[in-house]
Structure 1
Amino acid sequence: MAAPPADAAPQALNWGACDRIHHASPDTQCATVQVPRDYAKPNGPTISVTVSKLPATGARRGTLFGNPGGPGGDGIGMFTALEPADQIRQEWDLVAVQPRGLIGATPVRCDPLSKASGGENGAGALNRERCEKNTPGYTKTLTTETTARDIEQVRRAMGLDKISLYGISYGTWLMGTYATLFPSHTDRLVLDSAMDPRRAWGQMLDDQTAGYRARAHAMMAWIASHDDVYHLGTTPLAVYQRWSRAVEKEAGVPPSLSAPPARVGDVPPGLKAVAQQYLAGVNMTADARARIENLVATLATGGSQASSSLFVLTRAYAPSRDLWPAIALQTAGRSTPPKPSAEELKAATNAQDMQSVIICNEDRSPRDPTLTPAAVLANLVTGDVFDSPGLTYRSGLGCAGAAPVTTPIPLRNKLAVQPLQIQSVGDPQTPYRQSLATHKSMNTHLITVGGGDHGQFGRSNKPLDAAVVEYLRTGHTDVTRTPQAPVTASLTKAPGA
Structure 2
Amino acid sequence: MPRRTGAVLAAAVLLALSGCESGGPDSSADRSRTDRPRADRAAPTGPLKRYYEQRLRWRDCGGTGFECATLTAPLDYAEPSAATDLKLAVSRKKATGPGERLGSLLVNPGGPGGSAIGYLQGYAGVGYPAPVRARYDMVAMDPRGVAASEPVECLTDREMDAFTRTDQTPDDPAEVDRLVAAHKSFAAGCERRSGAILGHVSTVEAARDMDLLRAVLGDDRLSYVGASYGTFLGATYADLFPGRVGRLVLDGALDPTRTAAQVNRDQTAGFQTAFTAFAQDCAGRDDCPLGGGGPARAAERLTAFFDRLDRAPVPTDDGGRKLGESLATTGVLAAMYDESSWAQLRSALGAAMRGDGTALLQLADLYYERQDGEYANLMYANPAVNCLDLPPAFRGPDEVRKALPAFRKASPAFGEGLAWSSLNCAYWPVPPTGAPRALRAKGAAPILVVGTTRDPATPYRWARALARQLDSGRLLTYDGDGHTAYGRGSDCVDTAINTYLLEGTPPPDAKRCT
CA contact (8 A) 2:187 2:427 kept: no
Q: Does 1:88 align with 2:150?
A: no
1:275 is aligned to none
Deviation of 1:457 (Å): 2.4
Matched letter for residue 477 of structure 1 = P
1:330 is aligned to 348
Matched letter for residue 290 of structure 2 = Y
Q: Does 1:213 align with 2:241?
A: no
Q: Does 1:54 align with 2:93?
A: yes
Out of 476, 482, 491, the position equivalent to 1:462 is: 491
Out of 362, 379, 382, the position equivalent to 1:355 is: 382
**CA, structure 1 residues 7+161, in 2 after alignment: closer, same or farther (shift >3 Å)?**
farther
TM-score by length of 2: 0.71
Q: Does 1:313 align with 2:331?
A: yes
Largest Rg, 1 or 2: 1
Deviations 1:265-306 (A, max 9, x none): xxxxxxxxxxxxxxxxxx5x77567646754x4575477864
Matched letter for residue 241 of structure 2 = F
CA RMSD between the two structures: 3.8
Matched letter for residue 52 of structure 1 = S
More strand by share: 2
Listed as ranges, the gaps of 5+ residues in structure 1 are 19-23, 234-238, 242-258, 263-282, 378-383, 485-497
Q: Does 1:430 align with 2:458?
A: yes
Equivalent position SS for 1:422: strand
CA contact (8 A) 2:191 2:429 kept: no
CA contact (8 A) 1:421 1:445 kept: yes
Matched letter for residue 151 of structure 2 = P
Deviations 1:365-391 (A, max 9, x none): 6648655349999xxxxxx99335630
CA distance in 2, matches of 1:133, 1:432: 38
**CA, structure 1 residues 479+206, in 2 after alignment: closer, same or farther (shift >3 Å)?**
closer
CA distance in 2, matches of 1:291, 1:322: 23
1:168 is aligned to 227
Q: Does 1:483 align with 2:513?
A: yes
Matched letter for residue 232 of structure 1 = D
CA contact (8 A) 1:211 1:431 kept: yes
Deviation of 1:8 (Å): 4.8
Q: Does 1:421 align with 2:449?
A: yes
Q: Does 1:11 align with 2:70?
A: no
2:75 is aligned to 37
**CA, structure 1 residues 429+298, in 2 after alignment: closer, same or farther (shift >3 Å)?**
closer
Residue correspondence of structure 1 range 1-400 to structure 2 within 5 A: 4-6=47-49, 8-18=51-61, 25-44=63-82, 45-58=84-97, 59=99, 60-79=101-120, 80-82=122-124, 83-112=127-156, 114=159, 125-225=184-284, 227=285, 231-232=286-287, 239-241=289-291, 261=294, 291=303, 294-295=306-307, 297=308, 301=312, 306=324, 311-331=329-349, 336=359, 337=362, 344=371, 348-364=375-391, 367=394, 370=398, 372-373=400-401, 386-387=414-415, 390-392=418-420, 394=422, 396=423, 398-400=425-427
Matched letter for residue 326 of structure 1 = Q
Deviation of 1:162 (Å): 1.6
**CA, structure 1 residues 328+402, in 2 after alignment: closer, same or farther (shift >3 Å)?**
same
Equivalent position SS for 2:111: coil
Matched letter for residue 379 of structure 2 = Q
CA distance in 2, matches of 1:397, 1:332: 31
Matched letter for residue 474 of structure 1 = G
Equivalent position SS for 1:136: helix
CA distance in 1, matches of 2:390, 2:52: 36
**CA, structure 1 residues 3+134, in 2 after alignment: closer, same or farther (shift >3 Å)?**
farther
CA distance in 2, matches of 1:287, 1:461: 29
Equivalent position SS for 2:269: helix
Deviations 1:40-71 (A, max 9, x none): 22124111111111211113122211111111
CA distance in 1, matches of 2:305, 2:348: 23
Deviation of 1:124 (Å): 5.6
Listed as ranges, the gaps of 5+ residues in structure 2 are 1-44, 163-176, 315-321, 406-411
Range 70-79 or range 318-327, more displaced: 318-327
Equivalent position SS for 2:377: helix
CA distance in 2, matches of 1:447, 1:414: 20
Equivalent position SS for 1:147: helix
CA distance in 2, matches of 1:6, 1:51: 20
Identity %: 27
CA distance in 2, matches of 1:299, 1:160: 54
Matched letter for residue 135 of structure 2 = E
**CA, structure 1 residues 348+197, in 2 after alignment: closer, same or farther (shift >3 Å)?**
farther
CA distance in 2, matches of 1:125, 1:155: 38
Deviations 1:336-394 (A, max 9, x none): 448879984677441101112222222326648655349999xxxxxx99335630365
**CA, structure 1 residues 470+299, in 2 after alignment: closer, same or farther (shift >3 Å)?**
closer
TM-score by length of 1: 0.73
**CA, structure 1 residues 386+306, in 2 after alignment: closer, same or farther (shift >3 Å)?**
farther
**CA, structure 1 residues 62+294, in 2 after alignment: closer, same or farther (shift >3 Å)?**
closer
CA distance in 2, matches of 1:120, 1:208: 21
CA distance in 1, matches of 2:159, 2:331: 24
CA distance in 1, matches of 2:511, 2:298: 35
Out of 479, 482, 500, the position equivalent to 1:471 is: 500
CA distance in 2, matches of 1:415, 1:188: 14
CA distance in 1, matches of 2:109, 2:280: 28
Equivalent position SS for 1:445: strand
